[in-house]
Structure 1
Amino acid sequence: MLIEPLVTLLHLLIFVYWLGGDLGAFYSSTILTDSKCSAPQRATALRILMAVDMAPRTALILSLPTGLTLAFVKGWLGAMPGAAVAGIWAVCLVWLALAWAVHASHGKVAFYKQADMVIRWSALLVCAGMGLAGLAGLLALPLFIAGKLLILAGAISLGLLIRVLLRPLMAPFAQMMASGATPETDAAIKGVLARSRPVVMLLWLLLLGAAFLGLATPT
């Protein structure tokens, strides 16, 4: 049957676009603090960063349904019914639509942001709960699936933390666009990005950990 290799390929592409998109966004962020670049050039870099960043945001959301579908096809989910997997797909597709709506509206529609956050926090708690229950033997899950669920919960948590750390970025950036770059605006932008980069790198380590578990598949 072709369904298993197709789902496997889709799940692998999620990892590729997540990590690759994150690397692209990370590189774009270095241009924001490059004093050799003009304010319009940095604004272009920010637009590129925000567009490229939708790849890992999309990948994060789709990693759960694709991973569970692959586990279901391979028979790793025990007695979990197919309807439950279909329900997770439905919720994640709604979540994906909300994430893109937030991006398209530049975060100006409060309802989209609030609904996205409700689903995001719910997904974090569900993944963490299922992962811990799997490790404790309360759910019939292989060890690597329980571990990957905990890693996904951690990735969602780090994504929320990155949002908080980047929140002060827009004020100095807007000031730079209004009156030109100054040592003060450059220092403020560099400070915000410097605080967020270790968290981004920790997220990369989590992704590599998830990939390792997927390859090793310890039971």
Structure 2
Amino acid sequence: MDWSALYPTLVYVHVLLFVFWLGADLGVFLLGQHFRRRDYSIQERLTVLKLLVINDMGPRTAWALMVPSSLFLLKAGGHWPDIPDWLLVASLVIGLSWLTLVWDAFLHDQTPRAACDRKIENILKYLLTGFYLTLGTVSILHGEPLAGFIAWKALLFGAIFVAAIMIDVWFKPVGPLLVALVQNGSSDETEIPLRRQMDRTRIWVFATYVLLVVTSYLGVTKPF
């Protein structure tokens, strides 16, 4: 197979996924801003929250597909020419499986099936975090299998996994706090803990944005 002929198309797909990820994530952030407004009714804020969850499927979809996209791009671009074929196949299977889990959990939310999907998804995310962090670290220290800015991109991609996982970890307590808001109405007792937890989550959101921008900068400028 002439991998070099596929390179421009794979670059386009990779860039498209990045735009879809960051662009939709900014939409999630803006919707989150409106959800925080206490001058909206509870019903209006819940509607905003539903839109936020739907919009969040964009970044989650792009994140899953970035796995095969990144490895196939390494092969086609000659950055890791001897990458094992089994690893390419595995990346495609993992990416599509992850995508299936994400959407199945979304379509069956608040059910045992969705909970099971998310447990399996978390295992995949932890394994992939370890893979990219290890790949980047080993490559930076030894100059192979990746070199230069590509090695740093792999390490930063692993860091993006860490930040994105932490978003889910810190957002998890929002659920019970939201239930308290709906049941008891808007007051300092219900609003302040909810906003505090959302602010803690935002730290990791901003970290993800910074890492995405830095990673894309390296990919475009190829500084070293």
Rounded to whole Å, the distance in 2 between the matches of 1:33 and 1:158 is: 22
Q: In 1, Cα distance between the equivalents of 2:169 and 2:130?
A: 19
What SS class does the counterpart of residue 136 from structure 1 fall into?
Answer: helix
Q: 1:158 to 1:145 in 2, by over 3 A?
A: same
Task: Give me the whole-angstrom Cα distance separating, in 1, the residues matched to 2:5 and 2:56.
Answer: 31
**Deviation, structure 1 residue 42:** 0.5
Partner residue, 1:86: 89
Q: Does residue 171 of structure 1 match 2:190? A: no
- Deviating 4+ runs (over 4 angstroms): none
Which residue, 108, 125, 128 being the options, matches 1:123? 128
| Equivalent-residue separation in structure 1 for 2:130 and 2:12 (angstroms) | 27
Match of 1:189 among 183, 194, 198: 194
Instruction: Answer yes or no: is the 8 Å Cα contact 1:78–1:140 preserved in 2.
Output: no
- Runs of 5+ consecutive residues of structure 2 not aligned to the other structure: none
Alignment of structure 1 residues 198-209 onto 2, 5 Å: 198-209=203-214
For structure 1, the 5+ residue unaligned runs are none
State the alpha-carbon separation in 1 of the partners of residues 36 and 105 from structure 2: 26
What's the CA shift for 1:135? 0.8
Deviation for aligned residue 1:111: 2.2
- How far does the alpha carbon of each residue in 1:119-150 deviate from its partner, in whole angstroms, 9 at most, with x for none? 11110011111111111226321222211111
**Contact 1:107–1:113, Cα closer than 8 Å, also in 2:** no
Identity %: 26
Give the C-alpha shift of residue 118 in structure 1: 1.1
1:28 deviates by 0.7
2:107 to 96, 104, 107: 104
Aligned partner (choices 23, 28, 35) of residue 25 of structure 1: 28
- TM normalised by structure 2 equals 0.91
Q: Where do residues 27-106 of structure 1 align in structure 2 (5 Å cutoff)?
A: 27-106=30-109
How many Å separate the matches in 2 of 1:71 and 1:217? 14
1:78–1:141 CA contact under 8 A, matched in 2: no
Larger relative contact order, structure 1 or 2 (CA cutoff 8 Å, min sep 6): 1
Provide the C-alpha distance between the structure 1 equivalents of 2:105 and 2:160, rounded to a whole number of angstroms.
20
SS at match of 2:172: helix
* 1:131-150 alignment, distance < 5 Å: 131-137=136-142, 139-150=144-155
Please say which of residues 101-110 and 53-62 is displaced more in the overlay: 101-110
Of residues 185-194 and 201-210 in structure 1, the stretch that sits farther from structure 2 once superposed is 185-194
Whole-angstrom distance in 2 between the partners of 1:141 and 1:201: 28
Q: Using the TM superposition, give the Cα deviation of residue 199 of structure 1 relative to its aligned residue in structure 2, in angstroms.
A: 1.6
